[in-house]
Chains A and B, each alone.
Chain A
């Protein structure tokens, strides 16, 4: 099992809908978790971090962490065409480096 796994998609949602992105992780990574957004040809941009069980909200974004089930998710409310990008889930080890999933490509249809 890879350290972090994501459904590569693509995921398409209509404008204004909720986009739900999911990620599972292995026992080898278990500290903090991060969601990055990456536009084509650009570098990853940090959206949110989460390290405690439960939900964390920031504007239209909500990150959810369930350590018992080893999954982390990102909800994007009121999706906009500008949200169309690849979303990378990352997990941090005790050694501080990040393990990334392969990313989920999201398309928001106007």
Chain B
């Protein structure tokens, strides 16, 4: 069990550029979640996949954000035309589809928009 992995760990970009983050969940987990966390706050839910289906999106996920999980394994989160307010830690979590559904987080991608 290698845990949830995310890439890159840090990203610095200029306002207006597009960025893409990758998440690889724990191998037997079919649920995958994206959250965003800013300083002093708890993580905020962005979107959720069960296998390749995107089942829920938060209203926080504006039109500039898109997420995919094409084969039900890894997922990508893209932010287009980044804004300074997008600066945050982007967290990915995964869980099995049974039981309580405990979510395990990856190390996160810290995005800084200058």
State the A residues within 8 Å of B (CB). 4, 32, 34, 36, 42-46, 49, 51, 88, 90, 92, 95-103
Contact at A97–B33, with CB atoms within 8 Å?
yes
Contact at B100–A51, with CB atoms within 8 Å?
yes
A57 to chain B, nearest CB (A): 16
Partner of A98, one of B40, B43, B106, B107: B43
Contact at A95–B91, with CB atoms within 8 Å?
no
CA distance A36 to B108 in the complex (A): 15
Given contacts A43-B91, A49-B100, A51-B100, contact A97 B45 (CB under 8 A): yes
Given contacts A49-B100, A97-B48, contact A43 B106 (CB under 8 A): yes
State the B residues within 8 Å of A (CB). 31, 33, 35, 40-45, 48, 55-56, 58, 89, 91, 95, 100-108
Partner of B48, one of A44, A96, A101: A96
Contact at A100–B44, with CB atoms within 8 Å?
yes
Contacts of A90 in B (CB 8 A): 42
Contact at B56–A95, with CB atoms within 8 Å?
yes
Contacts of A98 in B (CB 8 A): 33, 35, 43, 45, 103
A2 to chain B, nearest CB (A): 10
Contacts of B89 in A (CB 8 A): 43
Cβ contacts A to B, 28 pairs, < 8 Å? A34-B103, A36-B105, A43-B89, A43-B106, A43-B108, A44-B105, A46-B102, A46-B103, A46-B105, A49-B100, A49-B102, A51-B100, A88-B43, A92-B100, A95-B55, A95-B56, A96-B48, A96-B56, A96-B95, A97-B56, A98-B45, A98-B103, A100-B43, A102-B40, A102-B41, A102-B42, A103-B41, A103-B42
